[in-house]
Structure 1
Amino acid sequence: MSTTPTEVLAFPNIKAIISDNGTAEVIVAGNSRVVPAGETLQDLRDNALALVVAEARTLQRPVRVRIEDPEGHGELIVHPDGNVESVSYEPRPARRRTGASTAAAPKVSDTAPAAAPVVKPEPAQPVVERQPWPPLAVDTLPAEEAAPASEAPQEAVEADAPVTRRSLKETSFLVSAPVLEPATQGWRGTLTRLGFRMDPSAEELSEREDIRTVSQHWPGPRTIAVVNRKGGANKTPTVVMLSAILARYSGAATVAWDNNESQGTLGWRTEKGAHDRSVLDLIDSSTELLSPSTNAAEIAKFVHHQTADKFDVLRSDENEEGDHEVTAEEVDIAHQVLTRYYRLVIMDSGNTARAANWRRMIDHTNQLVVPVTAIEDRAEAARLTLQTLESRGGHDAELARNAVVIVSESTDAKRSMTGDALKRAKAEAQRIADGFEPFVRAVVRIPYDPALVNGPIRYEALQPATQRAWLAAAAAVAKGF
């Protein structure tokens, strides 16, 4: 099957790069995927193309891919059926040995007239073929061909160098350790305010460290995916709380995106702006939003700002028919727009791990968060979600191993729960948290709070203990950046 190159979209941008050190990666829309190792260069090429074919099958159309390897670079068209067409390929120029450019000068005949020396040209030195792996580099040539300079002059220079004092670059008058600020909380804080300087407690130091962690900036945008295949697992409250805390403390432009394949509830639990636009409107206007001449404030036409918690919300489609399912390519477009305007993208998700938009979300994810309420079917769904990602290998498996699991005490609990019932609820939350501990990077427990159960979610409406727990959860997530 032949395809005219101009008929194949250049979106998403795909590169297959094979390095001289024997490693390879496929980069799709800025997201790197490690290529399985191979014994030969051709093995690496085949493994890289297998990933590109999978991408073409996901999009259900041919894709363009730029290729770079130790032998050259070019462009291919890869079809969903595995057929590959070459658009262009330019081999790297062969390297010459150093000795080829330093051949001895030809001898002049002793009997020839001085004014007209007869010179017999030497045959051209053959070009040494470049080794297929690794490429022949000047610094790997034999010692006799590298034409090293005599070391004697350097030794003489070093011997004549005058003895000097230590360089001023080797010292500093700045204090390296930060000054510990006095306590501000508890009885220690009370005594400090009365004029008795007290060091902070271990609890206050831990809170300060979590604040420092969530307040940092990092190079480039980051995407967090909040996933669980079971409904009612606290996904939406988790998205709202992480967005609020990271936006408040870091000051980074943050957007919460409802990536439900049809219609999600993030818009119901957050503040609505002065319009009804959703992710589909943003996708329709993506060309304008990605134009270099578009002002950054134009994104406000499509998102809903949270006035107290300082982040924006991109709602899912809410048309009455609800018949549009977001595709993988639409996720690519929306993600490209959002990462131009925001440093932090936090994605809510649906319950179908097989959906095209769910799987594409994972491709863009830097940090995975798995929320779960302390109910066994929600916990089992969380386990299956992680197991599914781990079984896929590569980037998906790495996300599962470095996931943060957030265990909330059951939102089905009643405010009137006391005594043994509360103890059982806390014990069940601890049991589930302990069960996930060996398999993920971090597990954080969140106490029950009625402010998270119904209606719009606001950070300031939470009890202090709940705010502190969510701060710890956000810090655990930020450590993955």
Structure 2
Amino acid sequence: MGTTPTEVLAFPNIKAIVRDNGTAEVVVAGNSRVVPDGDTLQDLRNNALALVVGEAKTLQRPVRVQIEDPEGHGELIVHPDNKIESVSYEPRPARRRTQAPATTPETAAPAVIETVPVTSPEPIPAPAQPATVEQTAAAVDRQPWPPTPVDPEVNADVPAASEVTSSNGQRITDAEVPQAAVAASEEPLTRRSLKETSFLVSAPVLEPATQGWRGSLTRLGFRMDPSAEELSEREDIRTVSQHWPGPRKIAVVNRKGGANKTPTVVNLCAVFARYGGGPVLAWDNNESQGTLGWRTEQGPHNASVLDLVDSSTRLLSPEANSADLAHFVHHQTADKFDVLRSDENEEGDHEVTAEEVDIVHRVATKYYRMIVMDSGNTARSANWRRMIHHTDQLVVPVTAMEDRAEAARLTLQTLESRGGHDAELARNAVVIVSESTDARRGMTGDALKRAKAEAQRIADGFAPLVRAVVRIPYDPALVNGPIRYEALQPATQRAWLAAAAAVAKGF
């Protein structure tokens, strides 16, 4: 089955240009690469395609390429496995001539060839001794860029070649008939509309690699394209850096305590705030006393959600400004988001009501683009249900332990059974599976393998039930004390970036 153009990213912008003077170039995101010489027009096409296949192999995915040669222009889809698919091809209109020229093998339209032996160069770690296209141009079959077949209805009135003669009585050959018919029926070219013309480059220039050995070579002066892993990371960063129209609200829920809800809230907020999706608020929406304040940095006061509720009239007035919130929220100086703590009075005699959730929601959405809500363990409580009413995206954290996983499943089941908005949140949920916080303590060898296998088993179990599942590796920086994003291991940071991107794709 072929690939549709909409299934293939248009980034980077790639063009393959073959000129009638015997030269050709491939332009990738604005960077030109000279195509090796060829004896014929088809040789130049093949050599250009070989460079594009090499680009697809580097990106490890199909790419779209705009093609242009003396005979026409169109679009191809080029796969890393050397498969070439023709999306479109439009022959160039023939210019008016007083007499049809004699047809030679060089001027005749090329036949549609099933396969052409060409191969693409493998990605190379350094510019020294690169393999040439000519050295590898005989190993792979691929479809060339053919002109589109002639529509039979267009030439329905054109007689057979054997019946056509020129004005001077000479017989026109089979190869000359289509060209003569086109020349006779072609209309003069008209001036192009200024509204349909632009000199701006639509695609951004692909920045060189900054990571791994490719990044090292770039810093030494050898410009290298980024790896597939670096491109994936860049795409996740772009996804979480969006500014959506209107605030977005995320609820982090699991009916079981110890399921990693609070670390999930902290790390999602850190990713969104660090990459420009802010201002971001972490809101502890526990019924009484939650733990979000224990795992984050405290500001120069002891204010909680109840203090904000008491001052909501002033905060919602036209005279209020964002700086007034500093009296109620606790700013995270390194991770750049704010925390609204739950009530921490010693008596613990106040349970947040649905009406108070509405008040906090009005204040929060006035001042923040992104609101990530921590929650308690009671799906029946008024504040929990009201939180769900305001939620745009549901996140269900779970550690690699069967009771936490079962509680997560029951949480989703409860929401699905309620129907409507709640059921839609459950179907579109993102499940984040973290390796148990004590999975690595005293574990070696087979025990560690079993712990990782359990995390994978739980992730696989949730995959058909929700929109996305992301795994987070064990990290000692998440076990105790305040959580700092910079204290996490690089693999853990990358996993949380992927988790935040999965969440953002649901907005």
Structure 1 pair 415–192 and aligned structure 2 pair: CA distance change class (3 A): farther
Displacement of 1:413 in angstroms is: 1.8
Q: Is the 8 A contact 1:223 1:347 kept in 2?
A: yes
Please give the residue correspondences for 1:107-186 in structure 2 after superposition, counting only pairs within 5 Å.
165-186=191-212
Please give the residue correspondences for 1:227-246 in structure 2 after superposition, counting only pairs within 5 Å.
227-246=253-272
Structure 2 residue 320 is the aligned partner of structure 1 residue 294: yes
Work out the CA distance in 1 between the residues paired with 2:216 and 2:407. 47
CA-to-aligned-CA distance 1:123-167 (integer Å, 9 cap, x gap): xxxxxxxxxxxxxxxxxxxxxxxxxxxxxxxxxxxxxxxx97332
Q: 2:295 aligns with which of 234, 244, 269?
A: 269
Work out the CA distance in 1 between the residues paired with 2:417 and 2:500. 27
What is the SS of the residue equivalent to 2:275?
A: helix
Letter in 2 for 1:269: R
Displacement of 1:219 in angstroms is: 0.6
What is the SS of the residue equivalent to 2:455?
A: helix
* TM-score calculated relative to the size of structure 1: 0.65
Q: Which residue is equivalent to 1:129? A: none
What is the SS of the residue equivalent to 1:454?
A: coil
Q: Which residue is equivalent to 1:394? A: 420
Displacement of 1:417 in angstroms is: 2.5
Structure 2 residue 234 is the aligned partner of structure 1 residue 208: yes
Displacement of 1:449 in angstroms is: 0.3
Q: Which residue is equivalent to 1:435? A: 461
Please give the residue correspondences for 1:276-287 in structure 2 after superposition, counting only pairs within 5 Å.
276-287=302-313
Work out the CA distance in 2 between the residues paired with 1:418 and 1:175. 55
Q: Which residue is equivalent to 1:377? A: 403
Q: Which residue is equivalent to 1:405? A: 431
Letter in 1 for 2:219: R
Q: Is the 8 A contact 2:242 2:277 kept in 1?
A: no
Q: Which residue is equivalent to 1:421? A: 447
Q: Is the 8 A contact 1:451 1:461 kept in 2?
A: yes
Work out the CA distance in 1 between the residues paired with 2:455 and 2:331. 33
Letter in 1 for 2:235: E
Work out the CA distance in 1 between the residues paired with 2:321 and 2:276. 23
Work out the CA distance in 2 between the residues paired with 1:447 and 1:224. 22
Q: Is the 8 A contact 2:277 2:369 kept in 1?
A: no
* TM-score calculated relative to the size of structure 2: 0.62
Q: Which residue is equivalent to 1:96? A: none
Q: Which residue is equivalent to 2:273? A: 247
Which consecutive unaligned segments of at least 5 residues does structure 2 have?
Answer: 1-188
Number of matched pairs = 319
Work out the CA distance in 1 between the residues paired with 2:474 and 2:322. 39
Q: Which residue is equivalent to 1:447? A: 473
Q: Is the 8 A contact 1:415 1:450 kept in 2?
A: no
Displacement of 1:290 in angstroms is: 0.3
CA-to-aligned-CA distance 1:375-414 (integer Å, 9 cap, x gap): 0000000000001001101000010011000000111223
Q: Which residue is equivalent to 1:353? A: 379
Q: Which residue is equivalent to 1:314? A: 340
Work out the CA distance in 2 between the residues paired with 1:432 and 1:470. 18
Q: Which residue is equivalent to 1:366? A: 392
Percent pairwise identity = 88
Displacement of 1:251 in angstroms is: 4.5
Displacement of 1:226 in angstroms is: 0.1
CA-to-aligned-CA distance 1:302-332 (integer Å, 9 cap, x gap): 0000000000000000111101000000000
Runs of 4 or more off by more than 3 Å in structure 1? none
Work out the CA distance in 1 between the residues paired with 2:325 and 2:221. 50
Work out the CA distance in 1 between the residues paired with 2:492 and 2:444. 18
Which consecutive unaligned segments of at least 5 residues does structure 1 have?
Answer: 1-162
Work out the CA distance in 2 between the residues paired with 1:206 and 1:454. 31
- Considering only aligned residues, what root-mean-square deviation do their CA atoms show, in Å? 1.1
Work out the CA distance in 2 between the residues paired with 1:397 and 1:251. 27
Letter in 2 for 1:312: D
Work out the CA distance in 1 between the residues paired with 2:396 and 2:199. 47
Structure 2 residue 363 is the aligned partner of structure 1 residue 330: no
Q: Which residue is equivalent to 1:38? A: none
What is the SS of the residue equivalent to 2:359?
A: helix
CA-to-aligned-CA distance 1:214-240 (integer Å, 9 cap, x gap): 111111111000000000000000000
